Amino acid sequence: MTFNENSNQIIEIHIEELTPSEIPVNTWEDWFKTWLNHLSSYLQEAPSYELSLRLTDDAEIQELNANYRQKDQPTDVLAFAALDVDFPNPNADVEPLYLGDLVISVETAIRQAEQQNHSLTKELAWLAAHGLLHLLGWDHPDDESLEAMLAQQDQLLQQISIIA
């Protein structure tokens, strides 16, 4: 399964920018297409895929974090997966497979980029890749699974030439 110009499979990305980033919409789309192509073995078969990305500020992400995770503090990225990994999609042949929603705080990303001494683009890509993996069922409840997830994130960032 690939996502190229000759493929009938597409990804639809709905981007809302409450807090704009330096990354154009078409770049986000290219990143997610590249990543989903790389992660195709983790995807249910579908004619197309859909996800939502919201770029926001600390106040909104704190509210979401408090409402959905009972943590009344800002965070960098939230992922709201639409899929249950063990539950088949009965409409997989006709509808886009909705992967879920990602919410990234650009304010937190700016702070983290400064702390890590790298670009905002790299930080936003890292957070988006992390969130996408969560949408596909990845998690990191222990050190071993965190290491595996971070290694996969590095592979995704290599795919879009953010890291070597």
Residue 150 lies in a domain: yes
Question: What is the strand order of the sheet 77-81 is part of?
Answer: 10-17, 48-56, 97-105, 77-81
Q: What are the tens digits of pLDDT across the range 22-41?
A: 888 889 999 999 999 999 88
Residue 3 lies in a domain: no
Instruction: Please provide the average confidence, as pLDDT, over all residues in the chain.
Output: 87
Residue 1 lies in a domain: no
Question: Which domain range does residue 19 map to?
Answer: 10-159
Residue 5 lies in a domain: no
Residue 2 lies in a domain: no
Q: What is the CATH number of the domain that holds 15?
A: 3.40.390.30
Percent of all residues in the chain with a pLDDT value above 70, rounded to a whole number: 87
Residue 164 lies in a domain: no
Residue 124 lies in a domain: yes
Residue 65 lies in a domain: yes
Domain count, the chain: 1
Give the model's pLDDT for residue 106.
Answer: 95
Q: Tokens 């500020």 correspond to what residue? A: 57
Residue 70 exposed, middle or buried by CB count within 10 Å (0-12, 13-18, 19+)? exposed
Distance from C-alpha of 121 to C-alpha of 32, rounded to nearest angstrom = 14
Instruction: Report whether pLDDT(139) > 80.
Output: yes
Q: What are the tens digits of pLDDT across the range 59-116?
A: 999 999 999 999 999 999 999 999 765 555 555 556 788 999 999 999 999 999 999 9
Give the model's pLDDT for residue 90.
Answer: 56
Give the model's pLDDT for residue 162.
Answer: 94
pTM over 0.85: yes
